[in-house]
Amino acid sequence: MKKISMFLRNQPPGRMIVGGFAAVILFGMILLLLPISVKDGAEVSAIDALFTSTSAVCVTGLIAIDTADHFTVFGQGIVAALIQIGGLGVTSLDVGLMLVARKRVGIKSRMMVKEALNIDSYKGIVKLVKAVLLMTLCFEAGGAILSFFVFSQDYDTVHAVGISIFHSIAAFNNSGFDILGGLRNLTIYQDNVLLNLTTCILIIFGGLGFLVILDILKQKRFRKLTLHSKVVIVTSLVLLVAGTVILKLTENATWLGAFFQSVSARTAGFSTYPIGEFTNAGLFVLCILMFIGASPGSTGGGIKTSTFFIMFQKIRGTCTKGMVHAFHRNISEQNITKAFMITILSGTVVCIAVFFMCILEPEYSFMQLLFEVVSAFGTVGLSTGITPELSIAGKGVIILVMFIGIVGIITLLSMWVSRTEPRARYSEEEVAIG
């Protein structure tokens, strides 16, 4: 036991984060295969249990089997718990449990939280985790109460309470799971303003990132916010507005429906309209929104809004031969390099996955497979309806893509790094570009 503890202590943070997520997924799979988790008459295979557990922990929402139709209340509770763990992050939850048990939070745990939440310093990490846990509880409680007013009209009180809590957890953690049954998601509530807006608010704040929310609560004025917060807020607003307008123009949806799908495509995965009936133009717009995703330190995935903003500013600066700046602040070359590297690596993952899906699932169109892969990578959960019909190999590819999407491509690569590169300085030489 002591040797195991010493071995784990010597592992880099990236490897610990990846291992933590993998362990939770496998444990969730085992729990979902228990007889107490499966409804009488329903069949849950090992691959479907693994798919559901991965989708829940990766806060994706893609489903191979309907959660309400196949799992008991206990099984649905397991799915909700997995979503919560995935949204908060394994490391943040671990620190939270340490605080509850009144144990000292060591440097290793602080390093993992720093890596997971993508923050620059160790200062105030324990306070940050406390704030994250409290913030999550407040948002989810408020969302559950508002959702109850809607679900109580169609279900008995106890059932409505359960659905409301599950829905609030899934929405704030940007996971598109539902327990309404029949693979309907929220299509029956497409005209319900209260549920639509409640869900959107939970998704937006869950996708902004905990650091941004805390900054807003502290500063209260836009001009006093940090550069990171300003970038996230402005980029999120632009994407939401642009997505709403384009979806309204390309699809037969109301303004409320277009807004909801624009918000949901930012890694939430809920749908009030059948996505399989969307035009190729609408699906392509959703793919772009899903690929960009939410913001750093949030419950969502994708390359992140700040990454997209920095790349845009770099391209603009290159075209105008000016400095790369925003809100009267220069953007460092390190940030620019990282943004392009993340995007290129993410695009590579998507391209490779789509290639294999085209081989494994030839009966589906390229757009359907591209949409499925991007949805998995962005940990979104939207689907054209092909997920339950995928082969075992196809589901395996989607599982792997979801996992890469939640842990992050940089974190996944860093876990294999065991040595540092030599610090030698070489002479520069120009290379013809473009």
pLDDT of residue 61: 85
Inform me whether the pLDDT recorded for 241 exceeds 90.
Answer: yes
- The rounded distance, in Å, linking the Cα atoms of 32 and 35 is 8
Q: Is the pLDDT of residue 103 over 70?
A: no
pLDDT score at 325: 84
Checking if the pLDDT of 114 tops 80, the result is no
Angle between helix 125-151 and 157-172 (nearest 10) = 140
pLDDT of 125 above 80:
no
Residue 430: which pLDDT band, with cuts at 50, 70 and 90? confident
DSSP string covering 271-302, please?
-SS-GGGS-HHHHHHHHHHHHH-S-TTSS--S
pLDDT for residue 416: 63
Give dist(CA 174, CA 177) in Å, integer.
9
Q: Name the token pair of 66.
A: 């309907």
- The phi and psi torsions of 329 (rounded to 5 degrees) equal -135, 135
Return the amino acid letter for 184.
R
pLDDT above 70 for 107: no
Residue 95, helix vs strand vs coil: helix
- Segment 138-147 mean pLDDT: 94
Structure confidence at residue 230 (pLDDT): 92
Q: Indicate the helix (H) or strand (E) that contains 66.
A: none
Does residue 95 surpass a pLDDT of 90? no
Q: What is the mean pLDDT of residues 208-230?
A: 86
pTM of the model: 0.87
DSSP string, 17-53: HHHHHHHHHHHHHHHHHSTTTBPTT----HHHHHHHH
pLDDT score, position 123: 64
Per the model's pLDDT, the better-predicted residue between 434 and 190 turns out to be: 190
Is the predicted pLDDT of residue 296 greater than 60, yes or no?
yes
How do residues 27-75 score in pLDDT, each as one tens digit? 999 999 999 999 998 899 999 999 999 999 988 888 999 999 999 999 9
Distance, in Å, from the CA atom of 12 to the CA atom of 289, rounded to the nearest integer, reads 32
Q: Does residue 192 carry a pLDDT above 70?
A: yes
pLDDT at position 112: 58
The residue that leads in pLDDT, 200 or 220, is 200
Question: If pLDDT is split at 50, 70 and 90, which confidence band does 420 have?
Answer: low
Query: Within 13 A of 76's CA, how many CA atoms are on the CB side?
Result: 23
Q: For 119-128, 324-333, 397-406, which range has the lowest pLDDT when averaged over its residues? A: 119-128
Q: Helices then strands (H, E): number in the chain?
A: 19, 2
Ranking 4-18, 29-43, 53-67, 156-170 by mean pLDDT, the lowest is 4-18
Question: Does 23 or 425 have the greater pLDDT score?
Answer: 23
Largest CA distance in the chain: 73
Q: Which of 89, 83, 201 is nearest to 138 (CA)?
A: 201
The residue ranges of every structural domain in the chain are: 2-414
Confidence (pLDDT) at 14: 65
Neighbours of 375 (CB within 10 A): 32
Give the pLDDT band (50/70/90) at residue 90: low
Torsion, Cα 14 30 357 390, to 10 degrees, reads -160
Lowest mean pLDDT among 218-227, 237-246, 249-258, 405-414: 405-414
Contact between 104 and 2 under an 8 Å Cβ cutoff? The reply is: no
* Residue 120: pLDDT band with limits 50, 70, 90: low
Of the listed ranges 55-69, 124-138, 335-349, 416-430, the least confidently predicted one is 416-430
